[in-house]
Structure 1
Amino acid sequence: MTDPQPLLSLRGVSTHYGAIQVLRDIDLEIHAGEVVCLLGGNASGKTTMLKTILGYVVPTRGEVLLDGRRITGLPTQRLVGLGVSMVPENRRLFKRMTVRENLEMGCYLRNDSEEVAKDFERVFALFPRVRQRFGQRAGTLSGGEQQMVAMARALMARPKVLLMDEPSMGLAPVLVEQNFEIIREINEQGTTVFVVEQNATMALSIADRGYVLQTGRIVLSGTAESLLSDQRMRTAYLGEL
């Protein structure tokens, strides 16, 4: 049973870039312990929603709340301290820095060194390859290895909610499956996950619930099971609703 108060929520959020409206009256809830996915095609507004949550973009209407607290427009550094961490699209590692240095950037706001050491061991258990590449420059890793490091870096902040932007992008199908299995395991270890993804089948295979975004509006929402079996989901996802 989920907590009645959402861990993360958007209420009536509309976002503009100048005169162009990108998000329209978004209501979305993520409860502690869930995996929730946001599905949609290119230019549907998915990335703008993440930017709005992270404070890169301030909504023109509505509010973003974390644990019932209004966080709309707070600087990203403050949000990381409050428990929001992100794995960005295309990984965006510091490529000239080592894997170790990238992971240390993930925990730079923390001063609990004993717990940080435990989290290094946690990410090594999730990603054995990260331990093997610990002293190597991040830019020399394969795409799959870079994705592991990006996820490990985000987890080093010990987030309450982990945001993931297109985790399947640029990966071979076998790596996509492995990636989503790791996301499921991260959730089972206690981290709430919000996945923004175009690969609807993979995202819904690990999610509890999902939302479908089309031209800035949520056009469908429900349990992962109900969305997978709903013909309207495919229609909306293909932009025909």
Structure 2
Amino acid sequence: MTDADPLLSLHSVSTHYGAIQVLRDVDVEIRRGEVVCLLGGNASGKTTLLKTILGYVVPTRGQVLLEGRAITGLPTQRLVGLGLSMVPENRRLFKRMTVRENLELGCYLRRDTDEVEQDYERVFTLFPRVRQRLGQRAGTLSGGEQQMVAMARALMARPKVLLMDEPSMGLAPVLVEQNFEIIREINQQGTTIFVVEQNATMALSIADRGYVLQTGRIVLADSAEHLLANPRMRQAYLGEL
């Protein structure tokens, strides 16, 4: 596999919930070292696409590939072991557990103890507040602190691809900006990132490329720069494409 080959890709993926089709022939490629964003309004199918990648939903047609290998339908735990890690919408921390215990869950499949310790130091450097809150129950943290812990927990799996679902949701504007700066820094340290987001301007400001999903179909795909300048972006969000 070369750097030009997709690290993670979806080929002609269609997904149904019963008789309802949610994704329609979706093609997405994420190459090693990129930040790629998936944009779209409510009910466009963005979260279903992430669930399909992670094995929560099995596509009715098409394939998901990681490093050229078909991973469609594999159980989620197996996919985490292969290199996928998720920062879910609304953080989804174990609120009665401490911050330290949440981080430990992020690396529970790993056996490389020395490198795990290195990754603890890495996330504490990225998120100094997390180190300060290690003994505190996750449910007592502010929304911004919970987002830091959710990102740190996902990074403790040392993922090949970090998946993020609506990282700006529920955060004050100043925290959204800080959050996306940290996402950019994580990428610059070598982690490939696929971020699903409604805040198109913020997501495209840190992304290399982007896709726009509307009613389960990819309607636009281009470089982040070109998408920002494309008047059809507004049409896509208003449902006119």
Normalising by the smaller structure, the TM-score range is over 0.9
2:33 corresponding residue in structure 1: 33
Match of 2:149 in 1: 149
Query: How many angstroms apart in 1 are the aligned matches of 2:17 and 2:40?
Result: 19
Secondary structure at 1:162's aligned position in 2?
Answer: strand
Gaps of 5+ in 2: none
Alignment of 1:172-191 (within 5 A): 172-191=172-191
- Counterpart in 2 of 1:53? 53
Match of 2:217 in 1: 217
The number of residue pairs the alignment matches comes to 240
For 1:9-158, what aligned pairs fall within 5 Å after superposition?
Answer: 9-158=9-158
Identity among equivalent pairs (%): 87
Does residue 169 in structure 1 map to residue 182 in structure 2? no
Q: Determine whether 1:227 maps to 2:221.
A: no
Which residue in the other structure is 2:207 paired with? 207
Query: How far did 1:110 drift?
Result: 0.4
**Structure 1 residue runs of 4 or more that deviate by more than 2 Å after TM superposition:** none
Which letter maps to 2:116? V
Give distance in 2, aligned partners of 1:105 and 1:11: 31
Where structure 1 has 5 or more consecutive residues not aligned to the other structure, the ranges are none
Q: Report the AA paired with residue 239 of structure 1.
A: G
Deviation at 1:69, TM superposition (A): 0.3
- How many angstroms apart in 2 are the aligned matches of 1:156 and 1:237? 35
Secondary structure of the residue aligned to 1:85 is: strand
TM-score by length of 2: 0.99
Aligned equivalents of 1:130, 1:151: Cα separation in 2: 10
Tell me the TM-score normalized by structure 1. 0.99
1:5 corresponds to which residue? Answer: 5
